[in-house]
A and B are shown apart, each in its own frame.
Chain A
Amino acid sequence: MTARNFFIPVTLFLVIAFLIGPFLIIVAASFSAGETLAFPPQGFSLRWIAKVFTVESFRASFAMSLFLAIGGTAVALMLGIPASYALSRYKLPGAEVIRTVVSAPIIVPGIIVGLALLRYIVVPFGVGITPALFLAHTALVLPYAVRVVSASLDNLRSDIEEAAVLLGSSRLGAFFRVVMPNIRGGILSAFILGFVTSFNQVPVSLFLSGPGVRTLPVDMIAYMEIVFDPSVAALSSLLAFLSIGIVFAAERFLGFSRYV
Chain B
Amino acid sequence: MFQNRAEALALALPAAIFAAAVFLVPVLILLSEGFRSAAVDGAAGGGWTLSAFTEFFSSSLNRTVFLRTLRLGAIVTVVSAVIGYAAAFAIVSLKPSTKGKITGLVVLPLMISPVARTYAWIVILGRTGIVNQAFQALGISEAPLRILFSETAIFIGLLQLFLPLMIISLISALENMPKDAIAAARVLGANWFQVFWKVILPLTREGLVIGGTLVFTGSLTAYITPAILGGSKVLMLETLMYQQVSVSNNFVSASVIAFILIVMSFAANILLKRVATARNRVRTEARGTQ
Residues of A within 8 A of B (CB): 4, 7-9, 11-12, 15-16, 18-20, 22-23, 25-26, 29, 37-39, 79-80, 82-83, 85-87, 89-93, 95, 98, 101-102, 104-105, 107-113, 115-117, 119-121, 135-136, 138-139, 142, 146, 158, 171, 196, 199-200, 202-203, 206-207, 217, 220-221, 224, 232-233, 236-237, 239-240, 243-244, 247
Is B30 on the interface with A (CB-CB < 8 A)? Answer: yes
Residues of B within 8 A of A (CB): 1-5, 7-9, 11-16, 18-27, 29-30, 83, 86-87, 90-91, 93-94, 102, 105-106, 108-109, 111-117, 119-124, 128-130, 160, 163-164, 167, 221, 223-224, 227-228, 238, 241-242, 245-246, 251, 254, 258, 261-262, 265-266, 269
In the A-B complex, the 8 residue pairs with the smallest Cβ-Cβ separation, listed nearest first, are A236-B116, A22-B120, A90-B8, A116-B26, A83-B15, A86-B11, A86-B12, A109-B221
Q: Are B113 and A92 in contact (CB under 8 A)?
A: no
A228 to chain B: closest CB distance in Å? 9
Q: Are A104 and B265 in contact (CB under 8 A)?
A: no
Given the known interface contacts A90-B1, A217-B113, the answer about A104 and B90 at a Cβ–Cβ threshold of 8 Å is no
Q: Are A83 and B14 in contact (CB under 8 A)?
A: yes
**A146–B14 alpha-carbon span in the complex (Å):** 13
Q: Are B12 and A98 in contact (CB under 8 A)?
A: yes
Q: Are A111 and B87 in contact (CB under 8 A)?
A: no
Q: Are A203 and B11 in contact (CB under 8 A)?
A: no
Q: Are A142 and B18 in contact (CB under 8 A)?
A: yes
A153 to chain B: closest CB distance in Å? 12
Chain B residues whose C-beta falls within 8 Å of the C-beta of A95 in the assembled complex: 12
A146 to chain B: closest CB distance in Å? 7
Chain B residues whose C-beta falls within 8 Å of the C-beta of A102 in the assembled complex: 15-16, 19
Given the known interface contacts A93-B5, A104-B23, A202-B224, the answer about A79 and B262 at a Cβ–Cβ threshold of 8 Å is no
Q: Are B22 and A19 in contact (CB under 8 A)?
A: no
**A260–B246 alpha-carbon span in the complex (Å):** 36
**Count of A-B residue pairs with CB < 8 Å:** 244
- Partner among A8, A22, A79, A171 whose Cβ is within 8 Å of the Cβ of B94: A8
Chain A residues whose C-beta falls within 8 Å of the C-beta of B15 in the assembled complex: 79-80, 82-83, 98, 102, 142, 146
**A51–B26 alpha-carbon span in the complex (Å):** 41
A118 to chain B: closest CB distance in Å? 9
Chain A residues whose C-beta falls within 8 Å of the C-beta of B123 in the assembled complex: 22, 25-26, 29, 37-39, 233
Q: Are A12 and B122 in contact (CB under 8 A)?
A: no
Given the known interface contacts A82-B15, A240-B112, the answer about A39 and B129 at a Cβ–Cβ threshold of 8 Å is yes
Q: Are A12 and B22 in contact (CB under 8 A)?
A: no
Q: Are B90 and A7 in contact (CB under 8 A)?
A: yes
- Partner among A16, A107, A244 whose Cβ is within 8 Å of the Cβ of B112: A244
Q: Are B105 and A107 in contact (CB under 8 A)?
A: no
Q: Are A98 and B116 in contact (CB under 8 A)?
A: no
**A139–B245 alpha-carbon span in the complex (Å):** 22
**A91–B4 alpha-carbon span in the complex (Å):** 8
Q: Are B119 and A232 in contact (CB under 8 A)?
A: yes
Q: Are A38 and B128 in contact (CB under 8 A)?
A: yes
Q: Are A19 and B102 in contact (CB under 8 A)?
A: no
B117 to chain A: closest CB distance in Å? 7
**A112–B258 alpha-carbon span in the complex (Å):** 6
